[in-house]
Structure 1
Amino acid sequence: MDTNLPVSSQPRVVIVGCGFGGLRLAKSLRDAPVQVVVIDRNNYHNFQPLLYQVATGALEADSIAYPIRKIFAGQKNFFYRMADVQRVDTAANTVHTSVGDIRYDYLVLATGSLTNFFGIESLEKNAMQIKSIPNALNLRSFIFQNFEKALLTENPEEKQALMNIVVVGGGPTGVEISGSLAEMRKHVLPKDYPELDLSKMQIILVEAGAELLGPMSVKSQQDAMRYMQELGVKVVLNTHIKGYENCRAYYSDTEFIPTENLIWAAGVNGAAVPGIPEELVARNKRINVNQWNQVPGLSNVFAIGDVANMVTDDMPKGLPMLAPVAQQQADLLGDNLQRLIKGQPPVPFVYKNKGVMAIVSRNKAVVDLPKDVHFNGIFGWFTWLFVHLMTLVGFRNKVVAFVDWAFSYFSSDQALRLIIRPFSRRDVKDDQGKKKAEHATSTPEYNPTPPAIQVK
């Protein structure tokens, strides 16, 4: 029991997940009279907003990750266990993990989100995603492996599919990775693959809605569309990808986009933990919480960040799944836990919107601030760089990211295009780290009979 954690007279706060929310909460309890236990399957904190730059070779993987134990070195009330959480037992105040059971006095679920494939099995099996560092490294290897294959094939349809890249989802992640890929097509790939006619390479961004960057202002949406067009990214709006198999991304029963590279950035669900009563979990797998981030009916169980479904009058669908929300909830919950220990009433959470932003490519970004303040272009780009640089954990990571960005800016190059871990779709794992069903990895025979999409 308790996986060799020391016995303490102080109440134990168990935090599941060390993302933006879990990390911030554990830090906020540094001087609190509690024992802080963090459980995470990875021994590092992952800065997810920059995963797409790892996938496209702009940053090293270890420049956006930082060891959990090193982050909390010197925090005497902190303990970490590397484990998968299997379920929670709220009646016994126990978390069941892959390394044993851990008792808690207060439990905080900060498990983040998982990719939502909307129940489409072929997409879940075959599409690439970028929710973790392994995902990003796999995607980077896969893209470059396919260009190596394109050099060898004589089949024109197969060559086109190997070179085409389809990004599904027109939110910030989809826009950012599409822009980064367009920059790669312009500056990097011609140097590495002069034998290929890269004018035929298509980067296609597919969005189910009527505009890009749906949650942002109309001005940002218009700017993002203009930037995409300037970069040569083909944007297809009001279109659903209904399936993906045999190197075909189907948008109807018979019509498809030929591609071996489909990147899914179209949606996420909350990463709810087994053991939480089903009636407390919303349709998008987020856990319902009240204004104190407390799970209703469970006085000592809380949820923060992406997994927490906090509904307000202004946001009837729940607060957005953004890092600032998780961090603000963590700060307040840290104070409220100490108030509860002292027998004082908790303070309700009020979200302070500090704005949203998205980068498209070099000198191209959009920023929306409160009170309808909007700016774009190089000023928005510098703002995005500064905010993300300052948010990275660890001085070394900040320096490495700055140097990498400066090198890429002045050289128009990205040095990190090594295939150091050759990737096969047989290696694809889901967000929980479990291996997906195996299927063919070789490029199939191409049948040109069904009409392929004509993207203008």
Structure 2
Amino acid sequence: MKLIIIGGGFGGLRLARNLSNKPGFEITLIDKFNFHQFQPLFYQVATAGLDASNISFPLRKVFHYSKNVRFRMAEVQQIIATENKVVTNIGEFNYDALVIATGADTNFFGNKNLMDHALPMKSTLEALQLRYKLLQNFETAINTNDQKLIEQLMNIVIVGGGPTGVELSGAIADMKKYVLPKDYPELDFTKMKIFLLEGGNKTLATMSEKSSVDSRKYLEKLGVTVLTNSLLKDYDGEKITLQDGKTIDTKLVIWAAGIKGNIPEGVDKHLIAKGNRIKIDRQCKTYGNDNIFAIGDVAYMEEPAWPNGHPQVAPVAMQMADTIANNLRSIEMKSSKKAMEEFVYNDKGSMATVGRNLAVVDMPKPKLHFSGFLAWMIWMGLHLMLILGVKNRFFVFCNWLYNYFTYDQNLRLIFKEVNKKKTD
């Protein structure tokens, strides 16, 4: 079976590893990057807590000892389902089965000003760009006497009260408390304001009520101004305007308020659901195609316990990958009479870190809630185990230890292109 997997995220990588060295499969994994990105720690790269290489792992290295998995770094241009073909910028690939695991990207909801001026954080590159912008603003602030400009440069607005927004707000607040006053003694950090805007009535709305309450309490304890029921209307690069007419002067808006599926060209438009996700059945097959599957953030499935689709989180993608792996093996073994599995999401819980020694954890079975230092330790332990590569785990752990005992992040580096003078 010629199997093509588009996307080397949590779902695509899990599927390729499940079928690696399994007889009867010839697998091609396609991704526009040559590395797997550990998205839950993007915010630590953006706030100088971790180096980008610590949360990235070369995809080719994963399959050093695989006889049937090959990786191609390419951008998918079109899927031609009628010809069982994937068209990329490096050529065409034929398949017997295709799995779309392209994940999700930032959703600005059609607001062009936000697209032009707000910073997203859905890739390692975007996390590095955010770190550059964050630090460069303080470098600019110490070289001006314009008080209004200083205020704009020091005010930071994070839009979206989900896990990404909460974790970013807490990390920046920790920087403000422990690091930035030492780096920039010329600036008065009592005037630096961090705003977290949430359109709903609470932070971490998808988690338990206790987690929502605790996360807000922790953020406010760290000095973050949490504005719920606040919708951002516009941002011109210098000032945000809310739906109620209020404004905040700022040169940095971080957008963590929405995501949309990365759907390749060629997917039937009738299959696209809310949030730009592909409709799939309980076996993860796209409707109308017996050999095209979709998993993870780009997929939309309704099951009794999740009538409005699954949350767009890594465990969903990984569990879908397991289901598809089992079903594809049944298909490949044509003599097998084993019934095709239907996907049932096993929700093992959710968690978010807010700052130093502060986190929240929800477990559904048994129904438990943890907060504070214990939740923070659980959060760190789980994320450390999920990172690919022993070397990466070691460096992340060392960085966390160093940051914890020194109250410092040692990766506050600003990389920028140096203009070279032309010489004859």
Pick the TM interval, shorter chain.
over 0.9
Q: Determine the C-alpha separation between the residues in 2 that align with 1:314 and 1:200.
A: 47
Paired residue for 1:400, among 391, 395, 401?
395
Match of 1:152, SS state, is coil
Counterpart in the other structure of 2:422? none
Counterpart in the other structure of 1:154? 145
Deviation digits for residues 210-265 of structure 1 (CA, Å, limit 9, x no counterpart): 00000000000010011011100000000111111041111138531110010000
Q: Determine the C-alpha separation between the residues in 1 that align with 2:141 and 2:417.
A: 16
Q: CA deviation at 1:104?
A: 0.6
Q: Determine the C-alpha separation between the residues in 2 that align with 1:195 and 1:143.
A: 17
Q: Determine the C-alpha separation between the residues in 2 that align with 1:31 and 1:100.
A: 25
Does the alignment pair 1:421 with 2:412?
no
Match of 2:70, SS state, is strand
Counterpart in the other structure of 2:6? 16
CA contact (8 A) 2:80 2:86 kept: yes
Paired residue for 2:46, among 38, 55, 64?
55
Q: Determine the C-alpha separation between the residues in 2 that align with 1:249 and 1:83.
A: 37
Paired residue for 1:247, among 235, 238, 255?
238
Q: Determine the C-alpha separation between the residues in 2 that align with 1:162 and 1:155.
A: 11
Q: TM-score, normalised by structure 2?
A: 0.96
Q: Determine the C-alpha separation between the residues in 2 that align with 1:29 and 1:136.
A: 32
Deviation digits for residues 182-218 of structure 1 (CA, Å, limit 9, x no counterpart): 0000001011000100000000000000000000000
CA contact (8 A) 1:359 1:384 kept: yes
Residues 50-449 of structure 1 mapped to structure 2, 5 A cutoff: 50-252=41-243, 254-343=245-334, 344=337, 345-371=339-365, 372-421=367-416
Structure 2: stretches of 5+ with no match in the other structure: 419-424
Q: Determine the C-alpha separation between the residues in 2 that align with 1:295 and 1:151.
A: 55
CA contact (8 A) 2:319 2:345 kept: yes
Q: Determine the C-alpha separation between the residues in 2 that align with 1:220 and 1:170.
A: 12
Q: Determine the C-alpha separation between the residues in 1 that align with 2:344 and 2:73.
A: 33
- Count of aligned positions: 413
The residue type paired with residue 348 of structure 2 is: K
Q: CA deviation at 1:274?
A: 1.1
Match of 1:37, SS state, is strand
Q: Determine the C-alpha separation between the residues in 1 that align with 2:274 and 2:417.
A: 37
Counterpart in the other structure of 1:446? none
Match of 2:102, SS state, is coil
CA contact (8 A) 1:138 1:421 kept: no
CA contact (8 A) 2:202 2:212 kept: yes
State the Cα RMSD in Å.
1.1
Residues 445-456 of structure 1 mapped to structure 2, 5 A cutoff: none
Q: CA deviation at 1:307?
A: 0.5
Q: Determine the C-alpha separation between the residues in 2 that align with 1:227 and 1:293.
A: 39
CA contact (8 A) 1:16 1:22 kept: yes
The residue type paired with residue 53 of structure 1 is: Q
Match of 1:176, SS state, is helix
Match of 1:357, SS state, is strand
Q: CA deviation at 1:315?
A: 1.5
Distance 1:264 1:22, change over 3 A: same
Match of 2:79, SS state, is strand
Q: CA deviation at 1:342?
A: 2.0
Counterpart in the other structure of 1:29? 19
Paired residue for 2:35, among 30, 35, 44?
44
Q: CA deviation at 1:316?
A: 1.7
Match of 1:91, SS state, is helix
The residue type paired with residue 363 of structure 2 is: L
Counterpart in the other structure of 1:448? none
Match of 1:224, SS state, is helix
Deviation digits for residues 123-169 of structure 1 (CA, Å, limit 9, x no counterpart): 01110011111101111011111101111122111110000000000
Q: CA deviation at 1:421?
A: 3.0
Q: Determine the C-alpha separation between the residues in 1 that align with 2:243 and 2:209.
A: 29
Q: Determine the C-alpha separation between the residues in 2 that align with 1:89 and 1:335.
A: 25
Q: CA deviation at 1:86?
A: 0.6
Q: Determine the C-alpha separation between the residues in 2 that align with 1:261 and 1:59.
A: 21
Q: CA deviation at 1:170?
A: 0.1
Q: Determine the C-alpha separation between the residues in 1 that align with 2:212 and 2:287.
A: 38
